[in-house]
Homo-oligomer: A and B are copies of this chain.
Amino acid sequence: MITITDDNFSSLNEFLDRKSFSKIFILVDENTHEYCLPVLLGNMETDLAFEILEIEAGEEMKNIQTANQLWEILTEMQADRKALVINLGGGVITDMGGFVASTYKRGIQFINIPTTLLSMCDAAIGGKTGIDLMHYKNMVGTFTFPEHIFVYPEFLETLPFKELRSGFAEMLKHGLIADKIHWEHLIRMQKLDAQAIIPHIKTSMDIKQDVVRQDFHEKNIRKTLNFGHTIGHAVESLYLNQKNPVLHGEAVAMGMITEAYLSFAEGLISAEDCDLIIGNIQKYYPYLDISDFSDDDIFDLLLNDKKNAGNTILFSLLSGIGACIFDHECSRKSISESLTFYRKLNDA
């Protein structure tokens, strides 16, 4: 399912050779068009015709209007049920391209070639597709696995540092929820760069895949992957709503700090573990200013979080470093305390 293709996409070529597609549609944004598409096209060996579909980069594009344009273009180009969509990009491309493919003519095949660390370790794997609606992330989508995921780590060399650090937040999360040794490898890195990170990507992907394999539709253990994402998603949405988006990993880092604090406040982890976790996240990530948002702004979004039902707000919280529980209900009071704790970090 996932192939790490450090040998110039030979496995992709074998895949294209083995399957009988009618045509290829490669979805890119202007960045992956410039930096990644030449690499892909330089290595791809196939007689199939292909078209390039380019969208503007950015989470703001991950909406129903863009999806609709893509459906219309596929229709105009007479893409049939044997067409293949190749999503070449970060999470916006793989989420949206997956949604468009999984619903066009009730589903055509697609593969993901993630180009960012975030999409390699998170968005491109796991079979969640989606678009944002109003100011809610991934409100509309499907559970559909790509036919295959080809990971070409060399793409990370061209990635800006902030993007790399954004993806690294998901790796830290994978360590925190499931694998203490992975976490320890990650926090002991001397320098946060592609060369240091690449050796650890496979472990991080395996953690996610293993969880997804156990619970595709997120009825139980898959919810642990939401650690850091409950408050993190809300803050990310609020920033997006202000037309001032932050990177996903920056919001998740903030979410992991507040939710580690919640884990401590709920008596699930020790003060020492909590300090250690928060200290290491702060080592990598700058403080994210949330002074524009009230607790109520955040509650409103938490209540519409996909994993919540009724008026309760459920969290995935740490029960140790490398262990996580889910469906833990927190009161508004505790959540407010964790936000107050976070606001004070700025004064420290």
Contact with B along A68-81 (1 / 0, CB 8 A): 10011001001011
Contact with B along A92-116 (1 / 0, CB 8 A): 0000000000111111000000000
Task: Give the residues in chain B near A22, CB-CB below 8 Å.
Answer: 309-310
Residue of B nearest to A219 (CB): B81
Task: Tell me which residues across on chain B come within 8 A of A82, comparing CB atoms.
Answer: 309-310
Within 8 Å of chain B (Cβ to Cβ): is A11? no
Answer whether A306 and B81 are a contact pair too, CB < 8 Å, given A64-B68, A71-B140. yes
A105 and B75: CB pair below 8 A?
no
A322 at the interface (CB under 8 A from B): no
Q: Indicate whether A245 reaches chain B with its CB closer than 8 angstroms.
A: no
Whether the Cβ atoms of A140 and B80 lie closer than 8 Å is: no
Bound Cα distance A304, B130 (Å): 25
Mark each residue of chain A from 292 to 310: 1 if its CB lies under 8 Å from any CB of chain B, else 0: 0000000000011011111
Chain B residues whose C-beta falls within 8 Å of the C-beta of A310 in the assembled complex: 22, 80, 82
Render A160-181 as a binary contact track against B, CB cut-off 8 A, 1 for contact: 0000000000000000000000
Of B81, B107, B134, which is within 8 A of A143 by CB? B107
Number of copies of this chain that the complex holds? 2
Rounded to whole angstroms, the CA-CA distance of A72 and B64 in the bound complex is 11
Q: How far is the CA of A72 from the CA of B140 in the complex (A)?
A: 10
Contact B68 A142 (CB under 8 A): no
Q: Tell me the interface secondary structure of chain A in the complex.
A: loop
Q: Assess the A80–B308 pair: CB atoms within 8 A.
A: yes
Q: Is the CB of B106 within 8 A of A75?
A: no
Q: A104-B140, A143-B106 are in contact. Are A75 and B134 (CB under 8 A)?
A: yes
Bound Cα distance A81, B106 (Å): 22
- Mark A113-148 against chain B: 1 for CB-CB distance below 8 A, else 0: 000000000000000111001101011111100000
For residue A68, which residues in chain B have a CB less than 8 angstroms away from its CB? 64, 133
Known: A22-B310, A106-B141. 10 other contacts (CB 8 A): A64-B71, A71-B140, A82-B310, A103-B142, A104-B140, A105-B139, A105-B306, A106-B129, A106-B140, A107-B142
